[in-house]
Amino acid sequence: MSNYRPETICVQGGYTPGNGEPRQIPIVQSTTFKYATSEDMGKLFDLEANGYFYSRLQNPTCDYVAAKICALEGGTAAMLTSSGQAANFFALFNIASCGDHIVASSSIYGGTFNLISVTMAKMGVETTFVAPDCSEEELNAAFRPNTKCVFGETIANPALTVLDIEKFAKAAHDHGVPLIVDNTFATPVGCRPFEWGADIVTHSTTKYMDGHGAAVGGAIVDSGKFDWMAHADKFPGLCTPDDSYHGITYAEKFGKEGAFITKCTAQLMRDFGSTPSPQSAFYLNLGLESLHVRMARHCENGQAVAEFLASHPKVEIVHYCGLPGDPYHEVAKKYLPNGSCGVVSFELKGGRPAAEVFMKHLKLAAIETHVADARTCCLNPATSTHRQMTEEQFKAAGVPAGLVRMSCGLESKEDLIEDIAQALEEI
Ligand SMILES: *Cc1c(COP(=O)(O)O)cnc(C)c1O
């Protein structure tokens, strides 16, 4: 399947039914699986044989969908998680634990920022944040002897900055560590980070991959390119025997192609249990079947709305890398040649009061904390997610009080623009 183009993989990847088998992926709604002998079962527990034994670790429905996402990203192994938060936590914690250090772009999703800077800090993992457009010197200066990985987002939520993946990958590799890229907003239809040197890709499948606001989920994909054994001193979890798995050394037994995901499943999924339900994986697969068709439309609508807003006298500034004046326009041309996504953010001249009036009068765009959905939605961080902050704190966080984040859905772009125009008239 991975030899096909992304459009074909979206529709048919991950699952090839045999003669007389279901055309659609079966929902294997079973917690457990039957074996004839204890010996058969024992082999599974020793990771000596492939097979299912308990759905907390692996389930066939989830694996079909993981295989599709793996093929879409051009990876060698993948797993689903119950949320994007779980995907990022697992991807990071699989190689960085107490006493270790992470280098991360400062322009990332708020939930991931909290995960790294608060929760993982409590677990003894320290992080140095760097601006996504920092110089190579600044980036290299962030590394320490105990640095275990570099993290960034292809298109950051909500700042909409675009990561220079090659620059970050080079710095990571020069320091003997992998680059982990959260590819949620771009999706593999827009950008395949492995082609630019990223080693691990994560997703909140809750966003465009599901695309219909139906199921929360996440995914982790391994490129199979990072040579753990060449940096064995940095990655003892992958390169020395795991006592909790009868002394298996993942990098030896499963190679570059399989070690990361096998360890992540066998240890982290076993112990933390952030597993998706087969039903949720089925909904995700329905979304993936049309991802390539939907992304083109999200991009078209995002571009049209961004251009309209940029030309409107009541709008102060528009952040969208598809606009020629945007600071990330050139980077986007390289990494996102087919368009970025449907999310546009902008500031109104009247600040927060203007944003409130504007949003109140929108008829199509509902006020939601969600993004990347078939239905257009919007959010004013100052009156919702960042409500507790003072005016000074807004400025420091790079979230101006008048900022509106609009996620353009799949409706007619003319209707969306007319709705925005009438709401702007009300200010
Ligand atoms: C939403 C989001 C997450 C978190 O995903 P959940 O599925 O909500 O847990 C992580 N990264 C990015 C870029 C996101 O947009």
Residues 208-244 have pLDDT tens digits of 999 999 999 999 999 999 999 999 999 999 999 998 8
Q: Is the beta carbon of 105 within 6 A of some atom in ligand 1?
A: no
174 plus 44 within the same structural domain: yes
Among the atoms of ligand 1, which is closest to the Cα of residue 185? Answer: 13
Q: Is the beta carbon of 276 within 6 A of some atom in ligand 1?
A: no
Is the pLDDT at 292 greater than 90, yes or no?
A: yes
Q: Which domain holds residue 78?
A: 7-285
* Residue from 116, 162, 183, 206 to probe ligand 1 pocket by mutation (most atoms less than 8 Å from CB): 206
Q: What is the CATH number of the domain that holds 398?
A: 3.90.1150.10
Burial class (CB in 10 A: 0-12, 13-18, 19+), 45: middle
Torsion of CA 72, 78, 79, 81, to 10 degrees: -60
Residue 397's pLDDT band (cuts 50, 70, 90): low
Closest by CA to 130, choosing from 109, 154, 102, is 102
Is the pLDDT at 398 greater than 80, yes or no?
A: no
Both structure tokens of 172 = 């990571």
Dist. CA 84 → ligand 1 center (Å): 5
* Residue from 88, 200, 204, 377 to probe ligand 1 pocket by mutation (most atoms less than 8 Å from CB): 204
347 plus 408 within the same structural domain: yes
pLDDT of residue 43: 86
Quick check: is 1 in a domain?
A: no
pLDDT of residue 1: 60
**Of the residues 285, 310, 342, the one at which a domain ends:** 285
**Of the residues 285, 317, 343, the one at which a domain ends:** 285
Q: Is the beta carbon of 184 within 6 A of some atom in ligand 1?
A: yes
Rounded distance, CA 422 to CA 411, Å?
A: 17
Quick check: is 140 in a domain?
A: yes
81 plus 216 within the same structural domain: yes
79 plus 223 within the same structural domain: yes
Is the pLDDT at 50 greater than 90, yes or no?
A: no
For 55-106, the pLDDT digits (tens) are 999 999 999 999 999 999 999 999 999 999 999 999 999 999 999 999 999 9
Dist. CA 207 → ligand 1 center (Å): 7
Q: What is the CATH number of the domain that holds 189?
A: 3.40.640.10
178 plus 327 within the same structural domain: no
pLDDT of residue 382: 73
Nearest CA to ligand 1 atom 1: 204
329 plus 418 within the same structural domain: yes
Residue 395's pLDDT band (cuts 50, 70, 90): low
Residue 245's pLDDT band (cuts 50, 70, 90): confident
275 plus 306 within the same structural domain: no
Is the pLDDT at 393 greater than 70, yes or no?
A: no
222 plus 304 within the same structural domain: no
Quick check: is 223 in a domain?
A: yes
The total number of structural domains that make up the chain = 2
For 316-362, the pLDDT digits (tens) are 999 999 999 999 999 999 999 999 999 999 999 998 899 999 999 99
351 plus 390 within the same structural domain: yes
**Of the residues 265, 285, 305, the one at which a domain ends:** 285
Locus of tokens 């969600």: 370
Q: Is the beta carbon of 210 within 6 A of some atom in ligand 1?
A: no
